[in-house]
Structure 1
Amino acid sequence: MAKMVVLLVLFTLFLSFSTNEVGCKRIYREDHMELKRQLKHLNKLAKKTIRTKYGDTYDCINLYEHPFFNYHSLKNHTYDFPVRSTSNPKGIRDQKSSLLFNPSNFWLNGKGCPDGMVPIKRNTEDDLKRAKLATEIHNSKYKPLTIDRPGTHYAIVRTKNTNIVYHGGSTSISIYNPKVEGTQYSSARIKVLNGPDSIEVGWTVNPTLYNDTSTRLYTFTKTSNSSCFNTFCKSIIPTSTDIPLGIPIVPISTLDQQFDMKFMLFWDSSNGNWFLKFGQDETDIGFWPKNVFTALGDGASYVEWGGEVFSPPDMPSPPMGSGRAHLQQDTVFDAYCRQIKTINETDFVVNAVDTEKLSDIQQYEVLDEGMTGAADFQHLVLFGGAGGYTGNKDF
């Protein structure tokens, strides 16, 4: 019976997208040859193949042969490897992530790609089709549980509209593995926005995108004319030899012990590029060239922290964060973003101020605890919920 429900939901979702010009017809017909061209091109660039302990295969590609460099007119640019931002955020940052990425725990070879190369996941045609469908799900307004309640729900804290130009933001987000089914997803992220452009980064459980229910690192990039997860479009350029987008993030938080990971998005005002810094040591693992964006290339107007979920029609919405029905105002039980910070116009990392909380339905809660007085937490945000929202329908 459960299998039949999932099939019906998928069929309904596919019918919905078939009426949209960016829906399944485009995914399965118009883009078929483009998908094959991308795969063939990337396979030619591979210098070495490496595998993870989780069964994923990656090809090591010379950074300067990466096709994104041609697209972004960066072919004649030179970068010292490893690629880092020209300027760096300033100020004392005592934030320590409880998780440290150790390549030996991830790669079968214990180290990732050789210097000067970056790991790109070896994708099949089905992988690219699923990535396109996941993008349409993430973007589309055409996915209601009811007409007045779309299937995407949020529980976030964000900066208010103060006409400030932000050079980025950071936080450490607790790691969970909420249960999702079918085309549902559940994510926790930091997001920067300006006009039609946005970048979000964090962890997600997204079977449509990854074909499993692991908690994985992700980015989602949206511009005035394109959008995608990770490196499935010409947006972020990966720069790390051993930390690729899409990696599983482990271990998962429990009542006995909580784990979190640090994420930072930093706008390098010297060149307009956005950098993703990951983990306690703020390792640069990728950057977005300025010319990807129409507005974010000049900094961000908002920064957000919190959770997001999606459920297709006729499926109760999934859990968010730790999945508890109500927040306990305790980081042992609640998912959190601790030490939420913004990067100001002089590149100083400062505690976020002038924030507001937003949650669109009662099944998902968010609390802006403000400055807690505890050095490890400082400005703290709690978020989550058990889900189960049905759009006023009984299933």
Structure 2
Amino acid sequence: MKKKMSVLFVAILLFLWSLIWTKYGDTYDCINLYERPFFNYHSLKNHTYDFPVRYTSNPKRIRGQKSSQLFNPSNFWLNGKGCPLGMVPIRRNTMADLKRAKLAIEIHNSKYKPLTIDKRGTHYAIVGTKNKNNVYHGGSASISIYNPKVKGTQYSSARIKVQNYPDSIEVGWTVNPTLYNDTRTRLYTFTKTAKSSCFDTLCNSLIPVRTDIPLGIPLESISTPEQQFDLQLMLFCNGNWFLKFGQDETVIGFWPKNVFTALGDSANYVEWGGEVFSPPGVPSPPMGSGYSERLEENTKYDAYCRQIKTINETDYVVNAVDTESFSDIVQYQVIDEGRVGADQHLVLFGGVGGYIGE
């Protein structure tokens, strides 16, 4: 009897040891990376990855202005540190969470279809590269952080996107209550391949590698006219696609190249800016700061992507050139300010919303 009790006690301890909580009430499982189904991919079998993942090379760049420090694990996790070494945090989802995530994916995927009278719910204010014959090994930017007000199934996001159709990766911040069951501004990724699409780690396309920085983290530093905060992000292809986060450009995850049909080696399109969604008949939500109906052309009031850059086929990080702007309705604007200063290419975007449709 004592032996059975001891075994049960050890099992309970091991179970609790594998669970960690955030100050926001989210529960995460600490998962052994090498037991994840990601490593069923043929090219990843028998491979070993350090924490964080090491590259064979890094993109070549001149350092510019750094973004604000936005994430401190000791203030995020109740245990002050995250998972033990060799394990990664994966958010625990209930059936209700998974149902909402499925709906969020369906809503997000609708934007890839042609806009029709029946499906005018997704709107953009973006700057993208023009020449689809160019080869890009990634893109980067520092994106100002806001908390636009949304309700119901609405969302409002600001992000970088790399694409080689039919594949694409988005990374940025979003306010998406359908996905996260709250209205906090959170770091997110969305991966679309020929076979699947999902947010964050809800499918096996993105492999997290940090013990302390999960996807979906709330971003508490929200910009105001008095003080601006921005989120520095980079997507970099070097055999696999890597996600780099924050002022220290910390690698927090990667996509194995063989999850993609066309994006495995490079992208032919890079995009920066804002995106919103609202169901038919509901006034569309604010984008970016939502400060005014027209952009002020002032980074104190307008949402921005600064230092927008592409990584070329020789792995050099360069200011984005040969770009074009697009916004589909007048309620959202985008201004490509071009090169501002020695190491800046600045894009302003946003709007108050309120569009209902025809």
TM-score by length of 1: 0.84
Query: Residues 142 and 83 (structure 1 numbering): CA distance in 2 closer, same or farther, change over 3 Å?
Result: closer
The answer to whether residue 214 in structure 2 is matched with residue 247 in structure 1 is no
Give yes or no for contact 1:47–1:62 (8 Å, CA) kept in 2: no
Aligned equivalent of 1:203: 173
Supply the distance in 1 between the matched residues of 2:181 and 2:113 (Cα, whole angstroms).
21
State the SS of the aligned residue for 2:104.
helix
CA contact (8 A) 1:47 1:59 kept: no
Per-residue deviation at 1:95? 3.3
Q: Give CA-to-partner distance per residue, 1:160-202, whole Å, 9 cap, x none.
A: 1251110001000000000000000000000000010000000
Report whether the alignment pairs 1:387 with 2:353: yes
Distance 1:335 1:142 in 2: 24
Cα separation, partners in 2 of 1:175 and 1:331, compared to 1, 3 Å: same
1:354 to 322, 325, 330: 322
In structure 2, relative to structure 1, the CA distance for the partners of 1:142 and 1:224 (3 Å cut) is closer
Matched residues in 2 for 1:388 and 1:89: separation?
A: 41
Q: Is the 8 A contact 2:51 2:210 kept in 1?
A: no
Match of 1:168 in 2: 138
Distance 2:274 2:186 in 1: 14
Matches within 5 A, 1:23-42: none
Q: Which amino acid aligns with 1:104?
A: S
**Distance (Å, rounded) in 1 between the aligned partners of 2:83 and 2:27:** 12
- Residue in 2 that maps onto 1:84: 54
How far the C-alpha of 1:314 sits from its partner, in A, is 1.4
For 1:321 and 1:144, locate their aligned partners in 2 and report how far apart those are by CA, in whole Å.
24
Cα distance in 2, alignment partners of residues 142 and 344 from structure 1: 26
Matched, 1:154 2:124: yes
SS of the aligned residue for 1:127 comes to: helix
When residues 226 and 247 of structure 1 are mapped into structure 2, their CA distance, relative to the original with a 3 A threshold, is: same
Is the contact between residue 22 and residue 77 of structure 2 (CA under 8 Å) also seen in structure 1? yes
CA-to-aligned-CA distance 1:75-109 (integer Å, 9 cap, x gap): 32112232233221112122301234211121111
Deviations 1:276-333 (A, max 9, x none): 0000111000000011101100200010000000001110111000012210000000
In 2 relative to 1, CA 381–72 (structure 1 residues): closer, same or farther, beyond 3 Å?
farther
Aligned counterparts of 1:249 and 1:74: Cα–Cα separation in 2: 32
- Name the SS of the counterpart of 2:62 in structure 1: coil
Normalising to structure 2: TM-score of the pair? 0.92
- Whether the aligned pair in 2 keeps the contact of 1:366 and 1:381 (CA below 8 Å) is yes
- In 1, Cα distance between equivalents of 2:202 and 2:322: 35
Partner SS, residue 214 of structure 1: coil
- Among 265, 277, 283, the alignment partner of 1:310 is 277
For the residues of structure 2 that align with 1:172 and 1:119, how far apart are their CA atoms? 25
- Secondary structure in 2 matching 1:58: strand
**Counterpart of 1:137?**
107
Alignment of structure 1 residues 53-132 onto 2, 5 Å: 53-71=23-41, 74-132=44-102
**Of residues 133, 144, 149 in structure 2, which corresponds to 1:179?**
149
**Aligned-CA RMSD value:** 1.9
1:328 and 2:296 matched: yes
In structure 2, list runs of 5 or more residues that go unmatched.
Answer: 1-13
Distance 1:169 1:145, change over 3 A: closer
Specify the code of the residue in structure 1 equivalent to 2:78: L
Gaps of 5+ in 1: 1-43
Partners of 1:45 and 1:67 in 2: how far apart? 20
Going from structure 1 to structure 2, the CA distance change for 1:314 and 1:162 (only over 3 Å counts) comes to closer
Q: Secondary structure at the match of 1:298?
A: coil
**Secondary structure of the equivalent of 1:328?**
coil
SS at 1:119's partner residue? strand
Question: 2:55, 2:319 → 1: CA distance?
Answer: 22
1:176, 1:321 within 8 Å by CA — same for their partners in 2?
Answer: yes
User: Separation in 1 of the partners of 2:158 and 2:164?
Assistant: 20
| Structure-2 change in CA distance of 1:79 and 1:180 (3 Å) | same
Q: Give deviations 1:315-355, integer Å, cap 9, x for gaps.
A: 01110000122100000000000000000111111100000
The amino acid of 2:307's aligned partner reads Q
Match of 1:28 in 2: none
Is 2:286 the partner of 1:319?
Answer: yes
Residues 1:72 and 1:250: Cα distance change in structure 2 (over 3 Å): farther
